[in-house]
Amino acid sequence: MTSSDRRTPARLADQRALLFDLDGVLTPTAEVHMRAWSRLFTPYLAAHGVAPYTEQDYFAYVDGKPRYDGVRSLLHARGIDLPEGTPADDPALDTVCGLGNRKNAEFTAELEEHGVAPYPGSLRFLTAAIDAGYEVAVVSSSANARSVLETAGILDRFEVVVDGAVAREDGLAGKPAPDTYLDAATRFGLTAAQCVVVEDATSGVEAGRNGAFGLVVGVDRGAGADALRAHGADLVVSDLADLLPDLATTVAGAPGTDQPPVDPRKTA
């Protein structure tokens, strides 16, 4: 078995597409989401006399999930049962969808107030991948993905964006189901085995494992390397720039090329 047959960084050179989660992978919007969830649940849980909201609740119950799933998961953990409601619910309503819409309003306020820029290491990795001929997509549970990408100045890098709005419109199950990632691969005409999933959430790496993707990369922004590996990450890094030496210099099948990928570590 060669090194590229194993699920190691060397396998990056054999893949055709990189499918990135957004929040916490390309941009530090996970921090914006964390503040928005805290603004929602800190007063809400206090008013219901249950255990207070903590940062660990974010990683355990809401990180990487569609918004309403996150609301539902955290409420269930606190023993609170609310009517489901509908996506059209007013944010003031005490329903799952109402609370989810309230959280979205908090997120929008945070984003407008503070803005967002890409992680420098992620931007370097993304630029190098595009230059090498990899297909790149964003696969995010957030319905705000396009606005975040636009605010960060990188929307034009991505031909394919499968976000929460697309998932809802097309009836795709959210992470940890692999459906949104599989949809992105299909849009490139590729199989899961030809694509890399890049995630910072346990639900996201689990989606990569469930979809049998060629490689699942975990980016540890707080979930913990052990937790990411336990849920399906083949390898974990703290910064995507760490993987720059493992990218192919030319991707097989990229437009204008008819040569196999080159491993930069094997060239003079």
23 catalytic residue (yes or no): yes
Catalytic: 156?
A: no
DSSP β-bridge partners for residue 162:
139
Locate the DSSP E strands across 13-74. Answer: 17-20
Q: Look-up: residue for tokens 């085995």?
A: 193
Tokens of 18: 């990189």
Collect contacts of 1-10 with beta carbons under 8 A, ≥24 apart.
4/263, 7/215, 7/216, 7/234, 7/235, 8/234, 8/235, 9/235, 9/243, 9/246, 10/246, 10/263
Catalytic residue among 5, 14, 21, 57: 21
139's tokens: 């696969």
- CA 112: distance to chain centroid? 21
Q: Which helix (H) or strand (E) covers residue 266, if one does?
A: none
For 167, the token pair is 């998932």
Q: Which two tokens stand for residue 238?
A: 């703290």
Catalytic residue from among 14, 23, 179, 183: 23
* Strand 235-237 relative to strand 215-219, pairing: parallel
**177's tokens:** 């189901």
Three-class SS state of 59: helix
Q: How far apart are CA 96 and CA 187, in angstroms?
A: 32
Torsion region of 142: left, alpha or beta (phi above 0 gives left; psi -120 to 50 gives alpha): beta
Give me the active site residues, please.
21, 23
